[in-house]
Amino acid sequence: MLNVDEIRKDFPILDREIHGKPLVYFDNAATSQTPQQVIDVIVVYYSKYNANIHRGVHTLSQEATDLYEQARIKIQKHFNAKHSHEIIMTSGTTHGINLVASGFTAFLKKGDEIIISALEHHSNIVPWQMLCERTGAQLKVIPINQEGELILSEYNKLLSEKTKLVFVNHISNALGTINPIETIIEKAHQVGAAVLVDGAQACPHLVPDVQDLNVDFYVASAHKICGPTGVGMLYGKDEWLQKLPPYQGGGEMIAEVTFEKTTYADLPHKFEAGTPNICGGIAFGAALDYMNAIGFDAIAAYENELLEYATEELSAIDGLKIYGTSEHKTSVISFNLEGIHPYDIGTILDKMGIAVRTGHHCAQPIMDFYKIPGTVRASFAFYNTKKEIDALVSAVNKAKMMLS
């Protein structure tokens, strides 16, 4: 059982008022809020340890390097990677996906196929389209049903010896559907394809075990797990990371540079050109410590309670339709009111202090599937309450009266 009243005290932003009303923050799928424990780590870093890493013999540089590398080990342990060098520090999920997509340019040729799903965020569509343009490979898409679930029988039909890569998100950002990635990974491996899973929306709710999943690549962003923006991680199996060419050239990713030839550094540095987000990386580790201290099982159980309550209360509003009704979903509700544009609802909710996301949620193909311009998306975190859901329901009712 979570002590939500106590947990809320960790988040100073939750005391804010918006337009004279208490902030109700339901845009957690876009970015989560930051607890004081993580804010403190950022303040202490810049107050006491700020220096460039992996470069200096001086004490500050060595201390900063130690803190950064300790964070990498925390991330390794959290995701249960076999080696710490399998964790590449990135600027976020988008960066990790582009790194892998760029690297695969060397391995694909005309006639090869890449499978993605109809549930993807744009950052798991566009890099693969660009990869196809570069290589002549073809993109295939796993379709979804009305509940917003992947149709696995269609996935089975798409798989063949031509399939070289499969990319799916673990959880859909627009609908909250939890995808059966265990089955997807197993089937892809049966035809010899590599699998990248986009965990941006899963990591706030569960702990992926990359060895157990036997996944080839897994990506995440710290800012959705109570960490800062501009930092994330790419897990890659050692054998894949050894094979992939570097993504960017620059300082720190080299072994030796001459004008004739450059040799590259060992993992993970081969993929970490330039000065990284040092403070962000350290704060990412602190965010994982914070979430693990609360416990992901308790977080998931509580968020599920919020999801069930909100689904019941919102469904009772006449003319409200929820998109994404899988039995396997996280605490995201995407909805529309009949005849009303989602943007108008979002604007009125904001006037009442309620932050939701409106629009296509960087997942236009899902909106096209449902033939809608977008939705209102309320996404709940472990620091939200049923009382806040009551405020949302009452505000949606008011918006309906004002707009119809």
Residue number closest to ligand C6P, CB atom: 173
Using CB under 6 A, which of 28, 32, 102, 123 touches ligand C6P? 123
Task: Work out how close the CB of 170 gets to ligand C6P at its nearest, in angstroms, rounded to a whole number.
Answer: 8
Task: Work out how close the CB of 109 gets to ligand C6P at its nearest, in angstroms, rounded to a whole number.
Answer: 27
| CA-closest candidate to residue 342, choices 322, 325, 369, 316 | 322
Q: Which is nearer to ligand C6P, 74 or 361 (CB)?
A: 361
Task: Work out how close the CB of 49 gets to ligand C6P at its nearest, in angstroms, rounded to a whole number.
Answer: 25
Element containing residue 167 per DSSP (H, E): strand 163-169
Does residue 362 have an active-site annotation? Answer: yes
Q: Strand pairing partners for 256? A: 263
Catalytic residue among 132, 203, 279, 362: 362
Check residue 331 for interaction with ligand C6P (CB under 6 A): no
Q: How big is the site for ligand C6P, counted in residues (CB under 6 A)?
A: 17
| CA-closest candidate to residue 221, choices 37, 24, 28 | 28
Task: Work out how close the CB of 362 gets to ligand C6P at its nearest, in angstroms, rounded to a whole number.
Answer: 4
Interface with ligand C6P by CB under 6 A: which range of 55-63, 92-100, 323-331, 387-395?
A: 92-100
Residues 6 or more apart in contact with residue 210 via CB below 8 angstroms? 79, 80, 81, 218, 235
Task: Work out how close the CB of 40 gets to ligand C6P at its nearest, in angstroms, rounded to a whole number.
Answer: 23
Binders of ligand C6P in range 210-269 (CB under 6 A): 221
Q: How does 161-198 read in b/e, with b if 16+ C-beta sit within 10 Å? A: eebbbbbbbbbbbbbbbbbbbeebbebbeeeebbbbbb
Interface with ligand C6P by CB under 6 A: which range of 101-109, 121-129, 277-285, 323-331?
A: 121-129
The identity of residue 139, as a single letter, is L
Q: Return the structure tokens found at 340.
A: 């009303």
Task: Work out how close the CB of 96 gets to ligand C6P at its nearest, in angstroms, rounded to a whole number.
Answer: 8
Q: Return the structure tokens found at 113.
A: 């196929």
Using CB under 6 A, which of 86, 149, 198, 388 touches ligand C6P? 198
Q: Which is nearer to ligand C6P, 64 or 279 (CB)?
A: 279
Check residue 94 for interaction with ligand C6P (CB under 6 A): yes
Q: Which is nearer to ligand C6P, 123 or 375 (CB)?
A: 123
Task: Work out how close the CB of 198 gets to ligand C6P at its nearest, in angstroms, rounded to a whole number.
Answer: 5
Binders of ligand C6P in range 339-398 (CB under 6 A): 357, 361-362
- How does DSSP assign 217-250, residue by residue? EEEEEGGGTTS-SS-EEEEE-HHHHHHSPPSS-S
Using CB under 6 A, which of 33, 65, 173, 325 touches ligand C6P? 173
Q: Which is nearer to ligand C6P, 135 or 179 (CB)?
A: 179
- How does DSSP assign 237-303, residue by residue? -HHHHHHSPPSS-STTSEEEE-SS-EEEPPTTGGG--S---HHHHHHHHHHHHHHHHH-HHHHHHHH
- How does DSSP assign 335-377, residue by residue? EEETTS-HHHHHHHHHHTTEE-EEE-TT-HHHHHHHT-S-EEE
Q: Return the number of other C-beta atoms located less than 10 Å from residue 321's C-beta.
A: 16
Task: Give whole-number Cα distances, 215 to 47, 165, 170, 195, 199, in Å.
Answer: 39, 12, 11, 6, 11
Interface with ligand C6P by CB under 6 A: which range of 90-98, 186-194, 248-256, 391-399?
A: 90-98
Q: Which is nearer to ligand C6P, 200 or 393 (CB)?
A: 200
Q: What are the start-end ranges of the H helices in 136-230?
A: 152-158, 181-190, 210-213
Using CB under 6 A, which of 24, 33, 79, 92 touches ligand C6P? 92
Q: What's phi and psi for 229, nearest 5 deg?
A: -80, 165
Task: Work out how close the CB of 88 gets to ligand C6P at its nearest, in angstroms, rounded to a whole number.
Answer: 14
Q: Which is nearer to ligand C6P, 203 or 399 (CB)?
A: 203
From residue 283 to residue 322, the character string flagging contacts with ligand C6P as x (rule: CB under 6 A) and all else as - is ----------------------------------------
Check residue 277 for interaction with ligand C6P (CB under 6 A): no
* C-alpha Rg value of the chain to the nearest Å: 22
Q: Which residues bind ligand C6P (CB under 6 A)?
A: 29-30, 92-94, 121, 123-124, 169, 173, 198, 200-201, 221, 357, 361-362
Active site residues: 362
